[in-house]
Amino acid sequence: MSFEASYSGIGRLDRLSYRDTIIHRLDPRAKVVATMLFAIAVVSFPKYEVLSLLPFFLFPILIGALGDIPPGFIARKVVAVSPFAVFVGIFNPLFDPGVVSIAPGVPVSAGWVSFAAILVKFALTISAALLLIATTSFPGICRGLRRLGLPALFVSQLLFLYRYLFVLMEETMRVVRARDMRSFGVRGTGVRVFVRIVGTLFLRTVERAERIYGAMLARGFRGEVPSMRREALRLSDAFFVAAAGSFFVLCRFVPVPQMLGRLVGGLAG
Amino acid sequence: MHMADALLSPAVGGTFWAGTIGAIGYASKKLKDHLDDRKIPLMGVLGAFIFASQMINFTIPGTGSSGHLGGGMILTILLGPHAAFLVMASVLTVQALFFADGGLLALGCNIWNLGIYPCFVAYPLIYRPLAGDGRSAQRILVASLASGIVGLQMGAFSVVLETLLSGKTALPFGTFLLMMQPIHLAIGIVEGFVTAGVINYVRAARPEILDSSASSEPLAAGIPLRNVLIGFIALAVVTGGALSWFASVHPDGLEWSIKRVTGKGELPDQEHGLPATLKSLQEKTAFLPEYGFKPPANEPKAKEETPSWPAVDAGTSLSGLIGGVLVLAMALGIGWAIRAFRGKKII
């Protein structure tokens, strides 16, 4: 991924997260907890289970639709980060030669089934994580994490990182562009130049941090980033978590697709 | 080498999350006692710096391929282990959210793999003794190389362990290890050279930054060994717990592989075709022979008995397939309908 592409990807997720929809208005804590429960429920399926995972697609689809998030954008990002899971999973068909039948007379290697399970789980968990950040502002997530009990120091790290991410990335982008324009192809992109660039950026960053600290002291900083918001969990947040949670439990323990298939088969027959 | 949710089991993901949360709490507490406020913005901005510099590609000498910085060792040398661990954790959290590197459940593993080993193992045990007082460029180079390589090797090994303990892949341990370790040896060497280059650059330009990072962390020299021991004990408990869980869920899988090794004379010869394939599947996954809709079960015991592939006769398997397609179509239809209504401003 080129620098510009990844930068604009972050910027776009950030802009999406400030929309105002029914999902965006939910408390960040509710969305973090629901997404975690979702991930746990999805990965708790055994390795040969594919069909029972399918109902779980309803969760990201609903969040995306109600939160008005462009599905193509999320799908492209999911594909972009898939190589590691694909790389590890693709060996299943090689090392797992047992045969299963997915339909009468259609035998497949068991490895393909477990590979499909990995891919489905990957699509589910990654799209849910991306939708969390697309429907919740990052400062909102940080506040939620603080309320959920993470140390204040760690949460203030996240806030600082996020605040200066865009500043530093723009600065870095200018440096990289300057290097690329001076280095025709490969020359000048080696480790030696890279080390100088990173060293210079580091020193500038340290000086920036000193100025920031001075400015923060002048505004009364005493070691923690305060939040003026006093948000309480509303009924809608509780309902969201309860509804999502019971849906996950239902789909985890009841084989919905198989039941539906039998129902349809029964009606047809 | 980001671990992914899809390859994890909840037990492995959960235990590594527990270890990571414990380490974050521990590092925060340590820092709170000994940190001056000045460092808080510095750490945050350095997190953004690592993030930004990871996006600068450079050409790896002799190969023509491009690499980028990991940054764990640079941060540890410049900030000390506790502060660096928190910064790494925040960098990985932002990566998990914005780049979807791995997912939320795997984030615990990723912070562990890329944070614990460089900050609490490679730095105190390898970098500090080798670099000495940090005044010699050669010693810094040697120390950075050694600690960079060891940190990444441990991280890569950890990825292999987490993947295999989770039991979602069929990849044999040795094969996976042979794929992961050498490539991370190469990455570790490059990372070591870059780390040494940056540290020496900073030392030449602003030596007081390195001095202050070493002196403002009096703990860095004293406690590591105990920390590391605790870490290893925790890791042993974590992996032991996960291993026993794994073994208890998939005894059939283990039996099956043993059976495969000792030769399979189990199946009667007259069985061919579909019944044979189904039987072999049944042996492999040991699902319940009488297929029925399982009642919702709350106890973990019952959960472990959930069939892996709940289709014994072909009819059930087909109806499951039809049902799966229907479920997916319904979910997509609901999403499409919401979007359509939203476009007309009805919702």
pLDDT at res. B311: 38
Are B333 and B194 found together in one domain? no
Between residues B308 and B317, the one the model is more confident about? B317
- The secondary structure element, H or E, covering residue B175 is helix B173-205
> A43, B324: Cβ pair inside 8 Å?
no
Q: What is the pLDDT of residues B25-37, one digit of tens each?
A: 888 888 877 767 7
Residue B311 to residue B291: CA distance in whole angstroms: 7
What average pLDDT score do residues A206-216 get? 86
**B321 in a structural domain:** yes
**Does residue B125 form part of some domain?**
yes
Check residues A42 and B37 and name the one with the higher pLDDT.
A42
Which of B73, B99, B325, B332 best tests the A interface by mutation, with the highest count of A CBs <10 A?
Answer: B99
Nearest to A157 among B86, B198, B327 (CB): B86
CB contacts, 8 Å: A141 with chain B: 97
- For residues B22-50, give the mean pLDDT: 83
Residue B89 confidence (pLDDT)? 92
CA gap B177, A16 in Å, rounded:
40
Instruction: Assess whether B66 and B155 both reside in one domain.
Output: yes
pLDDT at B235: 55
The confidence score (pLDDT) of residue A41 equals 92
pLDDT digits (tens, 9 = 90+) for B238-288: 554 444 444 434 433 333 443 444 444 333 343 444 444 444 544 444 333
Could you tell me the pLDDT band of residue A39, with boundaries at 50, 70 and 90?
A: very high
**A24 has a pLDDT exceeding 50:** yes
Q: Kind and range of the H or E element at B58?
A: strand B58-59
- Chain A residues with beta carbon closer than 8 angstroms to that of B25: 151
Q: Which residues contact B319 (CB under 8 A, 6 or more apart)?
A: A258, A261, A262, A264, A265
Least confident of A52-66, A218-232, B239-253: B239-253
Residue B226: pLDDT band with limits 50, 70, 90: low
Is residue A62 within 8 Å of residue A75, measured between CB atoms? no
The reply to whether B262 falls in a domain is no
User: Do the Cβ atoms of A39 and B104 come within 8 Å?
Assistant: yes
Select the more confidently predicted residue: A38 or B346.
A38
Predicted confidence at residue B64, as pLDDT, reads 58
Classify residue B265: in a domain, yes or no: no
* Cα of A238 to nearest chain B Cα, Å: 21
CATH at residue B105: 1.10.1760.20
CA–CA distance, B54 with A10 (Å, rounded to integer): 14
B332 in the same domain as B302: no
Q: Which residue has the higher pLDDT, B264 or A8?
A: A8
What are the pLDDT digits (tens) for A145-176?
888 888 888 888 888 888 888 888 888 888 88
Q: How far is A233 from chain B (nearest CA, A)?
A: 23
For B165-207, what is each residue's pLDDT tens digit? Answer: 888 888 888 888 888 888 888 888 888 888 898 888 888 888 8
Does B266 fall in a domain?
A: no
Domain limits at B98? Answer: 5-249
B66: which strand partners?
A: B59
Closest CB to B58 among A132, A190, A253:
A190
Contact A156 B14 (CB under 8 A): no
Q: Within a domain: residue B227?
A: yes
Between residues B189 and B218, the one the model is more confident about: B189
Is residue B254 in some structural domain?
no
pLDDT at A2: 65
Residue range A217-228: mean pLDDT, rounded: 74
Whether residues B50 and B94 fall in one domain: yes
Is there a single domain that holds both residue B224 and residue B336? no
Statement to judge: residues B177 and B75 lie in one domain:
yes
pLDDT of residue A59: 94
Residues B159 and B196 grouped into a single domain:
yes
Q: What is the pTM of this model?
A: 0.77
CB contact under 8 A, B170 and A186: no
Outline where A67-151 has alpha helix (H): 71-80, 83-89, 92-95, 110-135, 138-147
The pLDDT confidence band at residue A77, using thresholds 50, 70 and 90, is confident
- pLDDT tens for B108-128 read 999 999 999 999 999 988 898
Tell if the CB–CB gap between B48 and A257 is shorter than 8 Å: no
Closest residue in B to A81 (Cα–Cα): B101
Query: Can you give the residue ranges of every domain in chain A?
Result: 1-150+232-269, 151-230
| Same domain (yes/no): B207, B280 | no
Nearest by CB to B2, from A47, A84, A249: name it. A84
Higher pLDDT pick, B287 / A126: A126
- Overall number of domains in chain B: 3
Is B334 within the bounds of a domain?
Answer: yes
Are residue B130 and residue B233 in the same domain, yes or no? yes
Query: Closest partner residue to B53 among A57, A201, A263, by Cβ?
Result: A201
Q: Do A194 and B320 touch (CB under 8 A)?
A: no
Neighbours of B18 (CB within 10 A): 15
Of A88, A100, A249, the CB nearest to B309: A100
Distance of residue B125 Cα from the nearest chain A Cα, in angstroms: 25
* Beta pairing, strands A99-103 & A106-109: antiparallel
